[in-house]
Amino acid sequence: MALREAAAAASQGEVPVGAVVVRDGRVIGRAHNMRETLRDPTAHAEMIALTQAAEAIEAWRLDGAVVYVTLEPCCMCAGALVLARVSRLLYGAADPKAGACGTLYNIVCDPRLNHCVEVTAGVMAEESRELLQQFFRQRRDNQQ
């Protein structure tokens, strides 16, 4: 489902990242990147999906929620996962330039913070990476 969201982002000219929030076996949030569309630097897939999830359960605390995302969250999104008290994160491709869930930083499990998110990295990483590589390859080709 997160990969489908990422593909939808790519079809709209957005960096192909998709996120899905599940709680008690029910999807309560799903989104893809919309920074270009909304002209909003915070419109990452995770941020939009977390907002939808909070609205769906009418609470900002998302304890018990599992977030699936195609790309390792950045500092902003990792911080939001901690602040929302998300229980678990599963992500696809690691992000060597901005990853904040174990690659560059480890915000989601920093012992100085009041919450730690359980992380599973590399879930469908190849499919996620391929979507990103294809998107950026097409952008480079179109610029030439």
Output DSSP code: residue 56. H
Q: Which two tokens stand for residue 74?
A: 């950045």
**Spatial distance between the Cα atoms of 90 and 35, rounded to a whole number of angstroms:** 22
Q: How many CB atoms lie within 10 A of CB 129?
A: 15
46 in active site: yes
For tokens 């560059």, the residue is 104
Of residues 118, 63, 50, the one with CA closest to residue 89: 118
From 5, 14, 46, 72, the catalytic residue:
46
3-state DSSP call for residue 47? Answer: helix
Widest Cα–Cα separation across the chain: 48
Give catalytic residue positions. 46
